[in-house]
Amino acid sequence: MNPPGDELPLAELLVDFAREAGLEAQVVPTPAGKSKVGRAAAWARLAGRGRDRPVVLLSHLDVVPADPGGWAVDPFQGLVAGGYVMGRGALDAKGLAITHLLALTELARRDASLTRDVIFLAVPDEETGGRDGAGFLVRKRRDLIGDAEFLLAEGGGILAADTGSANVWGVAVAEKAPCWTRLTAKGTSGHASTGGLHGPVPRLVSALERVRRLQTEVRVVPDVERMFAALAPLGEPEDRAGLATLGAALETDPAFRRRFLADEARAALVRTTIAITVLRAGTSPNVVPEEARAELDVRLLPGDRCDDFLEGLREVIADPSIRIEPILAFESKSSPADTALFRAIRAVARDIDPGALVVPRVIAGFTDAHYFRELGVVSYGFVPRWLPPSETRGVHGVNERVSVDNLERGVEATIRILEELGR
């Protein structure tokens, strides 16, 4: 789990497995950073005929911690029972790494002759931002992905509908961008008995009150407009017309706007969100501290820039004594949906899941895909497994699990997509 990481043993295991199946494979050392553990990525390649540029299957080896208290089983035991693999990482993302690798070894076994190389890459450090994982590899080991044209990773998937409704194949083409921000107020430390009205803590609190009251602008970017138009047929009957023309409806139909924005997950796709998440100051009630600090998890719409947001934030806070600085920020580029890979996914959906809706999605979170989009690789978040909403809650939650059936269907769907793309 990460921290500290310690992905090396798993990378070795996967590489051994790939080599036994006849694939070219290697363990790729990555920086240990502050942790004193072994860190590495696993890489393997199924060589194609070289007519087209490679496709990368990206996953990650690290997982978030799990407090066994809330779990029905030991989260790190890897129990297989009742048709499920249970444990931390079953969905996010060891299950995906296994799905990718089995698709590759099965294609090798079948002697598939594809037009392009398929590259398996399972990286460390995704859960803490990926700087020592995918970030390191795109900076220092570009050779591992060659001149890749496409990449498939986590971020989207198949929403299994209740009976009577269509499954939704959500292919993430864009992500919101983080603009994590630190606010710092400084002053002189002293005895609190004489009052401390202008100390760092009250100044920070009033700045945060302004942040808390901030209403960010509602704005529909083209990727989001297209996504809701595609999903409109599945909406509540009174919402369908609005979803089909989201930007206009949010401006002209106040009742629709209220209903749409009441759903936080939807609202997050049409505005910058700001969560006040970290507060640090003081150690004792009778001491005015020298410094007070807060951190904000700000998520921008695709295309927006953190610098612009911070400039606006400085105006809102209107207190030059508060230092405002970014702690994690990158721009979010989106991938086009009109590509051979998207068409391959659509063709496979039509074949194995008739009636399913294939939707280019924007997601509110971010994944390692952004490192590759920045290189110009067309990157989609799409995991071929059929999950009802109740099971997606296992991601970073308790009782994470994936059915063996889903793993098997995921391997087969991945194979089909690669064949469709590489024939």
Sites of contact with Zn ion (CB under 5 A) = 92-93, 154
**In terms of CB distance, is 272 or 332 closer to Zn ion?**
332
**In terms of CB distance, is 6 or 154 closer to Zn ion?**
154
**In terms of CB distance, is 134 or 337 closer to Zn ion?**
134
Min. distance of Cβ 60 from Zn ion in angstroms?
Answer: 6
Min. distance of Cβ 10 from Zn ion in angstroms?
Answer: 14
Min. distance of Cβ 132 from Zn ion in angstroms?
Answer: 15
**In terms of CB distance, is 154 or 353 closer to Zn ion?**
154
Min. distance of Cβ 22 from Zn ion in angstroms?
Answer: 29
Min. distance of Cβ 381 from Zn ion in angstroms?
Answer: 10
Distance of alpha carbon 259 from the chain centroid: 26
**In terms of CB distance, is 126 or 225 closer to Zn ion?**
126
Min. distance of Cβ 229 from Zn ion in angstroms?
Answer: 28
Min. distance of Cβ 82 from Zn ion in angstroms?
Answer: 24
